[in-house]
Amino acid sequence: MNTKLTVVPRRIRHALAAAAAILLPGACTSTADAPTAAVERHAAAANADGDALTAAQRQGVAQVRLATTALHDIATARDAGYTVQYPAGCAQSSSGVQGFHYLNPGLVDATVDLLRPELVMYEPQPDGSLQLIGVDYVVPFGAWTAPEPPALLGMPFMRNEPLGVWALHIWAWRPNPSGMFAMWNPKASCAYAQ
């Protein structure tokens, strides 16, 4: 299975990585607390128990789990480059939670790699620790020139208009009744955010 999607030449990757600092502040906060038709279609495309996932999607999610297993330890995630908390704080909306996001700025470019997500998402725990719950992929609008949105595992990325990015979540480590690829997870919580 091909897990990479190259969008633009390598020579502009550095510019995109620098632009990430500008584009991503709130990438996972939402002005879209009220679901749009696109958000609803996206969330309905898969369900939490995996029954609606294709064999390729199940295999892809298993690969994401394997690739991110070590990132359950936040110190290991930081050592792997996930050093920027973006956005600041625990992201939540009336539709659910995304948790704390840690961005690897070196991965924000025009390439999507299933096994190297740009962001990892954590839920705060009562003891102050963080539990890995999912991953987030982003592609800046300026890097995408095709008429169709980027896709991964057959799922189209969603537009985040305020930030100028395409985004796709995979809830690899937390069941999500809204769907494996939904934007928000009602089974996650920011109750213990500090």
> Exposed, middle or buried, 127 (CB in 10 Å: 0-12/13-18/19+)?
exposed
Whether the model clears a pTM of 0.95, i.e. scores above it, the answer is no
> N- to C-terminal Cα distance for the chain?
40
pLDDT tens by residue, the chain, 194 residues: 444 443 333 333 333 333 333 333 334 433 333 334 433 443 343 344 456 899 999 999 999 999 999 999 999 999 999 999 988 899 999 999 999 999 999 998 888 999 999 999 999 999 999 999 999 999 888 888 888 999 999 999 999 887 778 999 999 999 999 999 999 999 999 999 98
Q: What is the signed CA dihedral for 92, 94, 97, 101, rounded to 10 degrees? A: -30
> How far apart, in whole angstroms, are the C-alpha atoms of residue 121 and residue 90?
9
Q: Are strands 151-152 and 165-170 parallel, antiparallel or unpaired?
A: unpaired
